[in-house]
């Protein structure tokens, strides 16, 4: 890295190098202007305190003193910008580059509750819980921690009455959500007791909610609705070209969101007219046909819409830095945008995320008389029983199988 000039402090020199780096990452002038305001104040603060390196400890102190950003406070949009600016400086000091921004909505809880999340990590590690499920653990625990914080409850002070009060807050939620919420608590709370954090094993107070296997009916939409969504995409702009190719992969092939996010150029076998990849959920390889419709959509995006980037995945974000979507990104903002543009009515309680394309494809195939094993293979299911749950939404298919009742 470049050495600071005689009239330039080490932190200011770091700021200058960071800004030059972000320019190469296609950050806009307006974005840099917002960050520059914070960097300038951080550099001045460092000069006053005689600080020569970007360190999270003193920058946290600065954010607390100047912007009121502290543990226990939700961040405003402006505060998030300040927080991000300081984090960028710290990242660049440590790694020489900036870590990806996490778009997942987060809350900052008091440190007295951090042991709950640490216990969850410990449980997940001991039981080899998948990364996707680990994230769900965190989501459900945030609901519990928010409850504790709203009542200013210390973990060691939680009693049976408090747990019953928390259970009442779960009543409006779906049965499957409540069941998983309680499962998470039964998994984590014993560890808090074993570590001496909680005064008793609160998991004994958490009931078990039984949800019958495959009780939930998948949400599906008609072929006409699916086509209307595809037709609503503006394919004249780069982002529209990307979104159209993504939606086609989900609608025509039933790809899962994770597999679409991770799809790479080497997965497209142009000569064989097929797409071949390892499924992120099952770990099994799947080979799917590459139709002319899908092939030309991919070509259109790659040649005329995809930003210049070193990313190995096909689909990237269209804001700087031009990189892959985050692992927590379920692409719901894309599908929601085109549901609205197509004026698709969504009844209360019916889902409308990216996965409905997969459900709708399965329903359509079954309704058209496609054998269940063929549907199972097309969707990449490990077992036919997994596919069988889509029979619940293939109403016409079920009717054709009905037997007449003899008099």
Is residue 75 in a domain? yes
Is the pLDDT assigned to residue 215 strictly greater than 60? no
Does residue 358 have an active-site annotation?
A: yes
Same domain for 268 and 128: no
Mean pLDDT, residues 198-209: 89
Same domain for 327 and 357: yes
Q: How far apart are CA 254 and CA 404, in angstroms?
A: 35
- This prediction has a pTM of 0.65
The answer to whether the Cα torsion of 336, 342, 347, 348 is positive or negative is positive
Tens-digit pLDDT profile for residues 26-77: 888 888 888 998 899 998 888 888 888 888 788 888 888 888 776 545 678 7
Same domain for 393 and 253: yes
Same domain for 234 and 347: yes
Among 235, 252, 306, 355, the one annotated catalytic: 355
Among 140, 352, 358, 359, the one annotated catalytic: 358
Mean pLDDT, residues 139-143: 89
Does residue 269 have an active-site annotation?
A: no
Residues with Cβ within 8 Å of 346's Cβ and at least 6 positions away in sequence, in order, are 339, 352
Tens-digit pLDDT profile for residues 280-291: 877 888 899 999
Same domain for 196 and 118: yes
Same domain for 169 and 31: no
Is residue 382 in a domain? yes
| CATH code for the domain of 358 | 1.10.443.10
Same domain for 91 and 38: yes
Tens-digit pLDDT profile for residues 389-406: 555 545 544 454 444 444
At residue 177 the predicted structure's pLDDT band, cuts being 50, 70 and 90, is confident
Is residue 5 in a domain? no
Same domain for 378 and 271: yes
Is residue 362 in a domain? yes
Among 140, 235, 241, 256, the one annotated catalytic: 256
Put the strands of the sheet holding 268-269 in their side by side order: 268-269, 274-278, 285-289
Q: What are the residues facing 285 on neighbouring strands?
A: 278
Same domain for 248 and 187: no
User: Is 381 in contact with 387 (CB distance < 8 Å)?
Assistant: yes
Does residue 381 have an active-site annotation?
A: yes
- Give me the number of domains the chain comprises: 3
Residue numbers of the domain that contains 87: 10-95
Same domain for 119 and 14: no
Tens-digit pLDDT profile for residues 67-108: 877 654 567 878 888 888 888 888 888 878 887 665 444 455
Does residue 281 have an active-site annotation?
A: yes
Mean pLDDT, residues 227-247: 94
Same domain for 260 and 168: no
Same domain for 236 and 169: no
Is the pLDDT assigned to residue 161 strictly greater than 50? yes
Among 49, 132, 264, 281, the one annotated catalytic: 281
């Amino acid at each position: 890295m470049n050495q600071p000039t005689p009239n330039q402090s080490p932190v200011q020199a770091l700021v200058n190098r960071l800004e030059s780096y972000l320019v190469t990452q296609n950050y806009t002038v307006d974005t840099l202007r917002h960050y520059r305001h914070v960097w300038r104040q951080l550099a001045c603060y460092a000069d006053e305190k005689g600080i020569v390196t970007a360190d999270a400890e003193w920058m946290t102190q600065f954010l607390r003193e100047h912007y009121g950003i502290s543990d226990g406070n939700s961040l405003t949009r402006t505060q998030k910008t300040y927080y991000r600016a300081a984090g960028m400086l710290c990242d660049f000091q440590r790694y020489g580059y900036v870590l990806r921004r996490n778009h997942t909505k987060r809350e900052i809880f008091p440190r007295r509750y951090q042991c709950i999340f640490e216990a969850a990590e410990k449980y997940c590690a001991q039981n080899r819980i998948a990364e996707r499920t680990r994230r769900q653990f965190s989501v459900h625990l945030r609901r519990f921690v928010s409850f504790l914080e709203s009542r200013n409850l210390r973990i060691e002070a939680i009693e049976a009455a408090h747990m019953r009060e928390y259970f009442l807050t779960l009543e409006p939620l779906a049965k499957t959500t409540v069941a998983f919420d309680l499962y998470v608590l039964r998994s984590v709370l014993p560890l808090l007791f074993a570590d001496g954090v909680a005064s008793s094993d609160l998991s004994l107070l958490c009931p078990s909610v039984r949800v019958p296997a495959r009780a939930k009916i998948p949400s599906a939409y008609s072929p006409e609705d699916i086509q209307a969504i595809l037709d609503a995409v503006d394919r004249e702009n780069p982002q529209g070209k990307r979104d159209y190719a993504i939606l086609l992969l989900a609608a025509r092939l039933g790809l899962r969101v994770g597999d679409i996010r991770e799809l790479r150029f080497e997965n497209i076998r142009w000569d064989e007219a097929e797409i071949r990849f390892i499924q992120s959920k099952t770990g099994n390889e799947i080979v799917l046909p590459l139709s002319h419709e899908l092939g030309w959509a991919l070509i259109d995006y790659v040649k005329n819409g995809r930003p210049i980037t070193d990313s190995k995945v096909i689909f990237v974000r269209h804001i700087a830095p031009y990189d892959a979507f985050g692992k927590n990104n379920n692409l719901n903002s894309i599908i929601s945008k085109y549901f609205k543009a197509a004026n698709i009515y969504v009844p209360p309680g019916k889902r409308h995320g990216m996965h409905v394309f997969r459900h709708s494809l399965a329903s359509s195939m079954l309704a058209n008389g496609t054998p269940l094993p063929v549907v199972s293979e097309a969707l990449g299911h490990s077992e036919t029983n997994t596919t069988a749950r889509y029979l619940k939404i293939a109403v016409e298919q079920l009717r054709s199988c009905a037997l007449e009742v003899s008099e």
